[in-house]
C-alpha cells in the first residue's frame, strides 16, 4: 500500500467517492418527503400514500446503504490486508494455465460478493418487500432463482470470460477483439434471452381469447406492428408489482403482460401501456440503448488494456507480478467512478426514450388512459412521488411520474 502510487490514489478516491455520492443522494432523496408536493401530485398521492411511500423508501434505502457500507469495508479490509496478494500466490500454486486460473479467480470473487450480499437480499425481500405487501416469493423460489442465476452466469459468462482473457494473453489488438466478441454476444443474448432464458424463471401462458386479447391485437395491427403472440406471465409468484414487456426481432414480436398488470388495470389502460411498449420499438430504442452500451464497453476494454500493461497498477493493490484474471477484477474496482458517470448518460437517454414512448402512446390512444395507468402504477408501487434530481440522475431509468404526467397533459 503506497500513497505515492497514482493508481492506488485513483482507486481509493474512486471507491470512496462513489460510496459518498450514493450516501448524499439517498439522504437528499429521503429529505424530499419533508417538502410539500406539487399540485399535480397532491391529487394522486393521498397523505396516507405519501406517508407509506416515505416509510418504504426509508426501509429500502437502509438495506441498500448497509449493503454498500459492508461491501466497501470488506473490499478495503481485503485490499489493505494483503488479500489480493494472498489470492495471487494461492492461485499460482494451483499450477494451472493463466486463463483457467483467471476464470477461477474471477468466479471465486463473484461468488464471495454474492455471499456477502445474500443476507441483505434476504432482508430486502422477506422483510422490507413483505412488510409493504409486495413480496410474494417463497423461500423455495428465492433459492431456486439464485441457483439458476449463478449456474446460467457460469455457463454463459465462463466461456466468454475465457475468450476475453485469451485475447488479452495472446493478441496485440486484444481490446478490439474483446469488444467485437462482447458486442456479438450482447446481440445474440438480446435475441435469446426472452425465448430461452426468461422461460426458466417465468411461466408464459397465452392470454385467453376474449375482448382484451382482441383489443390488443387490433391495436397492434392498427399501429402496423406484427405481433404473433400475446402472453401472460406469472409475475405474481414473486411480487405484486406489475410490468409489461415486448420482445422479438423482425416479424415475430411477442407481447408479455404480467398477470398483476392484467388484474389491476382496465382494458383502455392496458392498450395505452401496449402502445407505449410499441412506441419503444417504433422509435428504435432497443438498438439505440444497445449501441450506447457497446460504446461504453469499447471504452472499458481500451482502458483495461492500458491498465494491464502497467506494473504499478498491480502494486497499487499489493499484487506482485501481473496476473491477468486478477487484473480484470482490480480494474473493475478502479473503473467504478467511470461506470457511475457513464451510467448518467445511459439513464438520461433511457428517460428521454420513455417520454418518446409516452408521446407515441398518446398519439395512438389519447393521453388519458396512459395517465390513469401511470397514476395507478405509482400509487400501487409506492413510488417516490417527488424524488430528488440527484437520485433521478443516478438511478432513474424512467422519469418521475410528475414529469411524465406533465408531458402527457400538455
Ligand atoms: Zn417504457
Burial label, 175 (beta-carbon count in 10 A; 0-12, 13-18, 19+): buried
pLDDT tens digit string along 248-260?
Answer: 666 778 888 999 9
Look at residue 224 in the predicted model and tell me its pLDDT.
Answer: 94
Bridge pairing between strands 244-247 and 253-258: antiparallel
CA distances from 388 to 30, 46, 110, 142, 408 (A): 8, 20, 32, 32, 21
Looking at residue 359, the DSSP 8-state letter turns out to be H
Look at residue 291 in the predicted model and tell me its pLDDT.
Answer: 94
d(CA 2, CA 13) in angstroms, rounded, equals 14
Whole-number Å distance, alpha carbon 141 to ligand 1 midpoint, is 27
Kindly give the parts of the chain with pLDDT less than 50: none
pTM, rounded to two decimals = 0.92
Whole-number Å distance, alpha carbon 357 to ligand 1 midpoint, is 6
- With a CB cutoff of 8 Å and minimum separation 6, the contacts of 364 are 219, 222, 223, 272, 275, 278, 279
Residues spanned by CATH 3.30.2010.10 within the chain? 204-282
CATH H-level superfamily of 204-282? Metalloproteases ("zincins"), catalytic domain (3.30.2010.10)
Look at residue 163 in the predicted model and tell me its pLDDT.
Answer: 97
Whole-number Å distance, alpha carbon 280 to ligand 1 midpoint, is 7
Q: DSSP secondary structure string, 86-126?
A: HHHHHHHTTT--HHHHHHHHHHHHHHHHHHHHHHHHHHIII
CA distances from 223 to 6, 200, 227, 273 (A): 56, 31, 10, 13
d(CA 176, CA 157) in angstroms, rounded, equals 19
Look at residue 192 in the predicted model and tell me its pLDDT.
Answer: 85
Asked whether the beta carbons of 283 and 353 are under 8 A apart, the reply is yes
Compute the half-sphere exposure of residue 269: CA atoms within 13 Å on the CB side of its CA: 17
Whole-number Å distance, alpha carbon 354 to ligand 1 midpoint, is 5
Whole-number Å distance, alpha carbon 275 to ligand 1 midpoint, is 10
- The torsion angles phi and psi of 357, rounded to 5 degrees, stand at -65, -35
Mapped onto helix, strand or coil, the DSSP state of residue 48 is helix
Whole-number Å distance, alpha carbon 189 to ligand 1 midpoint, is 20
Whole-number Å distance, alpha carbon 378 to ligand 1 midpoint, is 14
Look at residue 173 in the predicted model and tell me its pLDDT.
Answer: 95
DSSP bridge pairs for 227: 253
Look at residue 248 in the predicted model and tell me its pLDDT.
Answer: 65
Residues tagged active-site: 277, 358
pLDDT tens digit string along 318-357?
Answer: 999 999 999 999 999 999 999 999 999 999 999 999 999 9
Whole-number Å distance, alpha carbon 3 to ligand 1 midpoint, is 46
pLDDT tens digit string along 9-60?
Answer: 999 999 999 999 999 999 999 999 999 998 889 989 999 999 999 999 999 9
Whole-number Å distance, alpha carbon 316 to ligand 1 midpoint, is 43
- With a CB cutoff of 8 Å and minimum separation 6, the contacts of 32 are 384, 386, 387, 388
Cα four-point dihedral sign 57, 354, 293, 255: positive
- The torsion angles phi and psi of 126, rounded to 5 degrees, stand at -90, -10
Amino acid at each position: 500500500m503506497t500513497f505515492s502510487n497514482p493508481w492506488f490514489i485513483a482507486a481509493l478516491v474512486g471507491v470512496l467517492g462513489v460510496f459518498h455520492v450514493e450516501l448524499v443522494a439517498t439522504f437528499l432523496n429521503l429529505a424530499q418527503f419533508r417538502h410539500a408536493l406539487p399540485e399535480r401530485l397532491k391529487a394522486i398521492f393521498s397523505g396516507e400514500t405519501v406517508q407509506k411511500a416515505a416509510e418504504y423508501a426509508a426501509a429500502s434505502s437502509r438495506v441498500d446503504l448497509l449493503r454498500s457500507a459492508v461491501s466497501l469495508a470488506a473490499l478495503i479490509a481485503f485490499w489493505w490486508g494483503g488479500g489480493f496478494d494472498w489470492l495471487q500466490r494461492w492461485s499460482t500454486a494451483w499450477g494451472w494455465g493463466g486463463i483457467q486460473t483467471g476464470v477461477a479467480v474471477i468466479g471465486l470473487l463473484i461468488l464471495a460478493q454474492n455471499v456477502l450480499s445474500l443476507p441483505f437480499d434476504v432482508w430486502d425481500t422477506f422483510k422490507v418487500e413483505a412488510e409493504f405487501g409486495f413480496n410474494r416469493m417463497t423461500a423455495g423460489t428465492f433459492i431456486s432463482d439464485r441457483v439458476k442465476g449463478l449456474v446460467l452466469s457460469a455457463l454463459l459468462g465462463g466461456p466468454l470470460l475465457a475468450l476475453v482473457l485469451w485475447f488479452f494473453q495472446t493478441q496485440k489488438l486484444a481490446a478490439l477483439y474483446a469488444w467485437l466478441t462482447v458486442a456479438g454476444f450482447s446481440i445474440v443474448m438480446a435475441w435469446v434471452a426472452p425465448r430461452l432464458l426468461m422461460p426458466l424463471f417465468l411461466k408464459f401462458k397465452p392470454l385467453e381469447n376474449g375482448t382484451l386479447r382482441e383489443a390488443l391485437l387490433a391495436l397492434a395491427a392498427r399501429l402496423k406492428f406484427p405481433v404473433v403472440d400475446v402472453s401472460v406471465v406469472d409475475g405474481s409468484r414473486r411480487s405484486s408489482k406489475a410490468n409489461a414487456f415486448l420482445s422479438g426481432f423482425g416479424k415475430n414480436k411477442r407481447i408479455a403482460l404480467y398477470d398483476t398488470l392484467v388484474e389491476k388495470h382496465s382494458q383502455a389502460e392496458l392498450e395505452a401501456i401496449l402502445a407505449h411498449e410499441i412506441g419503444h420499438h417504433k422509435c428504435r430504442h432497443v438498438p439505440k440503448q444497445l449501441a450506447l452500451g457497446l460504446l461504453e464497453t469499447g471504452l472499458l476494454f481500451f482502458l483495461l488494456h492500458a491498465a494491464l500493461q502497467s506494473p504499478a497498477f498491480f502494486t497499487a493493490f499489493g499484487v506482485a507480478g501481473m496476473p491477468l484474471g486478477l487484473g480484470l477484477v482490480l480494474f473493475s474496482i478502479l473503473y467504478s467512478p467511470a461506470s457511475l458517470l457513464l451510467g448518467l448518460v445511459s439513464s438520461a437517454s433511457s428517460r428521454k426514450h420513455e417520454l418518446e414512448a409516452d408521446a407515441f402512446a398518446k398519439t395512438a390512444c389519447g393521453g388519458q388512459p396512459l395517465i390513469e395507468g401511470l397514476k395507478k402504477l405509482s400509487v400501487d408501487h409506492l413510488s417516490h412521488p417527488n424524488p430528488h434530481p440527484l437520485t433521478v440522475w443516478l438511478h432513474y431509468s424512467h422519469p418521475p411520474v410528475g414529469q411524465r404526467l406533465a408531458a402527457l397533459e400538455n
